[in-house]
A and B are shown apart, each in its own frame.
Chain A
Amino acid sequence: MINQKIVVLLACSWALAISSVTGHGSTALAQQKPPATSSRTTPDFAALSDAAEKARQEGRNDDAIRLYRQGLSVQPDWKQGLWFLGMLLYEKEQYAEVRDLMRRFVAVEPLAGPGWALLGLSEFQTREYPRSLEHLQHVRAIGLGKQQEMSEALFYHVSVLLTRFEQYDAAMTLLMGLRKSGSSPDLLVEPIGLSALRYPLLPSEIPPARKEMFRLAGEAALADEAQKRDEAEKLFSAMAAEFPNEPGVHFLFGVFLLDVRPDDGIREIQRELVIVPYNLTAKLRLADEYLKEEKFDDALRLASEVVQLDPQNPSGFMVLGEALVAKNDLDRGIAALETSRKLRPETVRTHWDLLRAYTSAGRAKDAKREKEEIEQILHPVASQ
């Protein structure tokens, strides 16, 4: 569905995309002169360029494709040719060729967001997912110019790829953002279900027998986001009843319940840990809840298990440090928090924890430094 939409967008507005990056309209590009070294071919090229443009405008796509190809064989860096041939071939689902054309295009127009977008979308279709994500993320950095209509397709593909690369939280943020911007729930429900249940799959990779599980998870998460708590609970409950032994199900339901009825939430997460004893995310979430309830020994036990299983887990060390500090074991608590800070320096919560711990330990200078670092993270420009 989203791919059909891209085709329509391409057909409507790629000319705008060119002008947005080059400062010239497509006519100007059509008149672009070949380099001096190939001046002997200029007349042929100009004729080809005009004929290709005419064929495209008249909807004679096969002729246009042939003519653009001929033009590009004369002038390989012909921007308009690269663009429009890419567009026409994308419509024909010849993604590998579009990818190669767009690689050439972005080499000569490195700031052309739509070019990078078409490149990343083609790579998505050829299943070169790491490159696709890299290039689509690049578009987010440099912008789409006048092609804002493409932003839904862009964000959708980035979010499903982020899920596939196990960046679930970042994916969920984008997906919920898409919903707020008006994207159809039908489009988002499976990607949200995958991200919420933390499965690194694309929607097209969902095992058929568990499609319903991801649908229920996605619909429940959307209902929760819309503050429809009763509806969300019904859906989560149905998911847990229908798929009681699947990893992630009780954790997701439990996290929802922690905000509604914390005791029920804890029970669900404990169920998760019976099914998947080494679900570290569930252990940490439970430890965090125990900290809130001042059950410090339970929190300490779970956090210790996490860092033992995964010695590179910054959240594990953060919760461990918080539990130790809460038990007045300042030295070990500070050491754990410092490990967490080293593993992931950008987490503000760790710096706040350290600020309080240093203050309690009478280490005013260290506390001051933490305060400065918090300022630096929260207001990077102002603190420079």
Chain B
Amino acid sequence: MFAAISLFVLLSLPHPAFPDTPQKSFEAIAREADAARQADHLIDALKLYSEAVHLHPTWADGWWWLGSILYEQDRFSEAQASFKRFIALSPKPAPAYAFLALCEYETHDYALALHHFELWSNAGSPGKGALLDVASFHWALLLTRAGRFNEALFLLTTKSKQRGATPVLTEALGLASLRMAFLPEDYPPERRESVWLAGMAAVYNAQSEFRLSDAYAERLLSHYGQEPNVHYFRGILLRFQGNEDSAAEEFRKELQISPRHDPALTEWAASRLEAGYDSEALSLAKRALEIDPQSARAHYILGRALLETGSFHESAQELEIAKRLAPESSRVRFALSTAYKRLGRKQDSEREQAAFLALKDKDNVLAPLGDKFKAPQATEHPQ
């Protein structure tokens, strides 16, 4: 389902206008190429487009169609070269970034693919339908591979809410949920069952089908409870269900297995904060930061714990660091606004409140998963 995009989709995408062409022979070839493509004679079209762009290397349309046909035939390294040429020539290449990234995924140029997915996402017109679906899915796979699990989970859970449980989506969710920095094609086969069980638990959790989610999570624990990240994942699911005490217990178990698991410490801290144990949260968040001083989430939790314990100045300091590390997080801005308010810094507080309002509805993938799961509503107090 996610493996390919049909030619129909490729052909329906907008492309730049046909440029003025000085050579008659080129025009004739280009016309024949278009006619062959429209008649679905793709082998002929491929040859003709190749010939045409050889004669007229700045013909953006030609590179686009050449790339599209090669992509349709799964000839990714050749398609990759064509899309690169198209991007270099086109003033608005947004969907081509996605196709280029998809080709790079297939040719295992993963760092480039990730970069081009990010350019695609930032270009403003990412396309729709199948392209959006396939590209965001592969982007999520690469984010998982890069260890950016929360961003991957945000993309994948959004998709699973829309589409329900499909085997490929379940597998991708399982990998990200268990914090396994692999692609579906290259993770150890002996981990397959745990990935499937975690994926099923995550899918049902995203759909708020907690009984089914719990059933799969318990199966996962019964066979794989001694493996890293399994108790952490269970804790995350329990937090999502609002069961903070059980979640805290799972994070504690995770730390027995993986003593330097800073996300478990951070989420444990968040869980304690939510349950009103502010000083416990404070201590846990500090431990998390000793392991990873660059964790925006841990600085945010520590900032909030300090806020709750009345240490407003220290709170603002921690939240400022969190803001620097995760400038797109609306929750950080809201907490910072509150800290400034308590410090009597009215102007700063208003500025952060405005930033919060600007960001709160933005579907950015940079905020932590907890923020995404519990994104504040317009009418709801975010804390």
Residues of chain A at the chain B interface (Cβ within 8 Å): 35, 37, 100, 103-104, 107-108, 126-131, 134, 164-166, 199-202, 204-205, 207-208, 245, 247, 276-278, 309, 312
- In the assembled complex, the CB of B227 is this many whole angstroms from the nearest CB of chain A, namely 12
Could you tell me if A205 and B192 are in contact, using CB atoms closer than 8 angstroms? yes
Q: With a CB–CB cut-off of 8 A, which chain B residues contact A201? A: 192-193, 196
Whether a CB of chain A sits under 8 angstroms from the CB of B211 is yes
- In the assembled complex, the CB of B340 is this many whole angstroms from the nearest CB of chain A, namely 47
- Decide: A131 near B3, CB < 8 A? Known: A107-B43, A166-B167: yes
Could you tell me if B74 and A130 are in contact, using CB atoms closer than 8 angstroms? no
- In the assembled complex, the CB of A130 is this many whole angstroms from the nearest CB of chain B, namely 5
Could you tell me if B3 and A130 are in contact, using CB atoms closer than 8 angstroms? yes
Complexed CA–CA distance, A97 and B105 (Å): 16
Could you tell me if B192 and A104 are in contact, using CB atoms closer than 8 angstroms? no
Q: With a CB–CB cut-off of 8 A, which chain B residues contact A130? A: 1-3, 168
Complexed CA–CA distance, A352 and B167 (Å): 32
Could you tell me if B209 and A309 are in contact, using CB atoms closer than 8 angstroms? yes
User: 10 tightest A-B contacts by CB?
Assistant: A205-B192, A107-B73, A127-B185, A103-B74, A205-B189, A278-B215, A165-B167, A130-B3, A131-B3, A278-B212
Whether a CB of chain A sits under 8 angstroms from the CB of B346 is no
Q: Which of A126, A127, A205, A309 contacts B190 (CB 8 A)?
A: A205
From B168, which residue of chain A is reached at the shortest CB distance? A130
Complexed CA–CA distance, A130 and B134 (Å): 13
- In the assembled complex, the CB of A183 is this many whole angstroms from the nearest CB of chain B, namely 23
Whether a CB of chain A sits under 8 angstroms from the CB of B342 is no
Complexed CA–CA distance, A312 and B165 (Å): 12
Whether a CB of chain A sits under 8 angstroms from the CB of B186 is yes
Complexed CA–CA distance, A312 and B207 (Å): 13
Q: Which of A103, A205, A312 contacts B73 (CB 8 A)?
A: A103
Q: With a CB–CB cut-off of 8 A, which chain B residues contact A100? A: 75, 77
Could you tell me if A202 and B2 are in contact, using CB atoms closer than 8 angstroms? no
Contact with A along B132-175 (1 / 0, CB 8 A): 00000000000000000000000000000000100110000000
Q: Which of A128, A166, A207 contacts B193 (CB 8 A)?
A: A207
Complexed CA–CA distance, A166 and B203 (Å): 15
Some 20 contacts from A to B, beta carbons below 8 A apart, are A37-B51, A100-B75, A100-B77, A103-B73, A107-B75, A108-B43, A127-B185, A128-B185, A131-B4, A131-B74, A166-B167, A205-B193, A207-B223, A208-B190, A245-B222, A276-B219, A277-B211, A278-B212, A309-B209, A309-B211
Q: With a CB–CB cut-off of 8 A, which chain A residues contact B75? A: 100, 103-104, 107
Q: Which of A35, A126, A205 contacts B185 (CB 8 A)?
A: A126
Complexed CA–CA distance, A247 and B215 (Å): 11
Complexed CA–CA distance, A285 and B196 (Å): 24
**Interface size class, chain B:** 20 to 34
- Decide: A278 near B167, CB < 8 A? Known: A127-B185, A201-B193, A207-B223: no
The total number of A-B Cβ pairs within 8 Å is: 62
- Decide: A134 near B3, CB < 8 A? Known: A107-B73, A202-B189, A202-B192: yes
Complexed CA–CA distance, A199 and B200 (Å): 12
Complexed CA–CA distance, A276 and B222 (Å): 13
CB-contacts of B20-68 with A (<8 A): 42-43, 47, 51
Contact with A along B288-326 (1 / 0, CB 8 A): 000000000000000000000000000000000000000
Could you tell me if B189 and A204 are in contact, using CB atoms closer than 8 angstroms? yes
- In the assembled complex, the CB of A125 is this many whole angstroms from the nearest CB of chain B, namely 11
Taking A165-B167, A277-B211 as given, write out 19 further A-B residue pairs in contact, using a Cβ cutoff of 8 Å, ordered by the A residue number: A35-B47, A127-B186, A129-B184, A130-B1, A130-B3, A166-B167, A205-B190, A205-B193, A207-B190, A207-B193, A245-B222, A247-B219, A276-B219, A277-B215, A278-B211, A278-B215, A309-B209, A309-B211, A309-B212
Complexed CA–CA distance, A35 and B46 (Å): 14
Q: With a CB–CB cut-off of 8 A, which chain A residues contact B51? A: 37
Q: With a CB–CB cut-off of 8 A, which chain A residues contact B77? A: 100
Could you tell me if A312 and B164 are in contact, using CB atoms closer than 8 angstroms? yes
- In the assembled complex, the CB of A286 is this many whole angstroms from the nearest CB of chain B, namely 17
Contact with A along B210-233 (1 / 0, CB 8 A): 011001000100110000000000
- In the assembled complex, the CB of A191 is this many whole angstroms from the nearest CB of chain B, namely 15
Q: With a CB–CB cut-off of 8 A, which chain B residues contact A134? A: 3
Q: With a CB–CB cut-off of 8 A, which chain B residues contact A312? A: 164
- In the assembled complex, the CB of A140 is this many whole angstroms from the nearest CB of chain B, namely 18
Q: Which of A104, A129, A200 contacts B196 (CB 8 A)?
A: A200
Complexed CA–CA distance, A127 and B3 (Å): 13
Q: With a CB–CB cut-off of 8 A, which chain B residues contact A104? A: 73, 75
Q: With a CB–CB cut-off of 8 A, which chain B residues contact A108? A: 43
From A106, which residue of chain B is reached at the shortest CB distance? B73
Best-surrounded residue of B189, B219, B223 (most CB of chain A within 10 A): B189
Q: With a CB–CB cut-off of 8 A, which chain A residues contact B189? A: 202, 204-205
- In the assembled complex, the CB of B1 is this many whole angstroms from the nearest CB of chain A, namely 7
From A278, which residue of chain B is reached at the shortest CB distance? B215
Complexed CA–CA distance, A104 and B212 (Å): 44
Best-surrounded residue of B42, B47, B74, B211 (most CB of chain A within 10 A): B74
- In the assembled complex, the CB of A129 is this many whole angstroms from the nearest CB of chain B, namely 8
Q: With a CB–CB cut-off of 8 A, which chain B residues contact A107? A: 42-43, 73, 75
- In the assembled complex, the CB of A170 is this many whole angstroms from the nearest CB of chain B, namely 13
Q: Which of B4, B167, B190, B219 contacts A164 (CB 8 A)?
A: B167
Q: With a CB–CB cut-off of 8 A, which chain B residues contact A37? A: 51
- In the assembled complex, the CB of A121 is this many whole angstroms from the nearest CB of chain B, namely 15
Contact with A along B355-377 (1 / 0, CB 8 A): 00000000000000000000000
From A104, which residue of chain B is reached at the shortest CB distance? B75
From A312, which residue of chain B is reached at the shortest CB distance? B164
Complexed CA–CA distance, A104 and B1 (Å): 21
- In the assembled complex, the CB of A219 is this many whole angstroms from the nearest CB of chain B, namely 21
Q: With a CB–CB cut-off of 8 A, which chain B residues contact A208? A: 190
